[in-house]
Amino acid sequence: MPYFGLIVMIVWVACLVDVIRADEHEVRNLPKPLWLMVVILLPLVGSVLWLLVGRPDGVGWSRTQTSASAYPEYDRPGRQAGQQPETDEEFLRRCRERAEQQRRVAREQEKRRLEREGGTGA
C-alpha cells in the first residue's frame, strides 16, 4: 500500500472542495461550517463521513446546475416567502402611499407644464 497516503490526500482534497461548493441548505446532518471543520481536522474519517452522511442527496461530482434566474441566490427554498406578514403588509402600504404621492407630483408637474405652454403659446 505505498499509495495509500496519496489516495487519502486526493479523496480529502476532493471532499474539501465538495464541502466548500455544497449549498448550505442542501448539506445533511450538520451545518456546513461544522462539516468543513470535520473534513479538515480528520482527513480520512471526515472525508468518508462527508461522502456517506453529509453530502447532499442526488448530486454528482460536477455541480453544473443551471439556475432558472440570473440571480441564483434567490432560488433558495423559502426565499420568496415573506418572513413576517405584518411587516410585508406595512411595506406594501408604504409602497402604495409612495406611488400615490409620485402620481400626485407628476399630475401637478404636468398641470404646470400645460399652463406654461398654454400661457406662452397665446
Q: How long a stretch of residues is the chain?
A: 122
pLDDT of the residue at 27: 86
CA distance 100 to 96: 6
Q: What per-residue confidence (pLDDT) applies to 77?
A: 63
d(CA 100, CA 84) in angstroms, rounded, equals 25
DSSP state of 41: H
At residue 55, the pLDDT reads 86
Tens place of pLDDT for every residue, the chain, 122 residues? 678 888 989 999 999 999 999 888 888 888 889 999 999 999 899 999 999 988 887 665 555 555 566 766 666 666 666 667 677 888 889 999 999 999 999 999 999 999 998 876 55
Give the span between the Cα atoms of 122 and 120, in whole angstroms.
Answer: 6
pLDDT of residue 88: 80
CA distances from 54 to 11, 42, 77 (A): 15, 14, 19
Note if the pTM is more than 0.85. no
Question: Of 77, 73, 40, 34, whose CA–CA distance to 53 is shortest?
Answer: 34
Pairwise CA distance, residues 36 & 47, whole Å: 10
Domain ranges of the chain: 1-57, 85-122
Q: Rounded distance, CA 92 to CA 87, Å?
A: 9
Joined grid coordinates for residue 36: 468543513
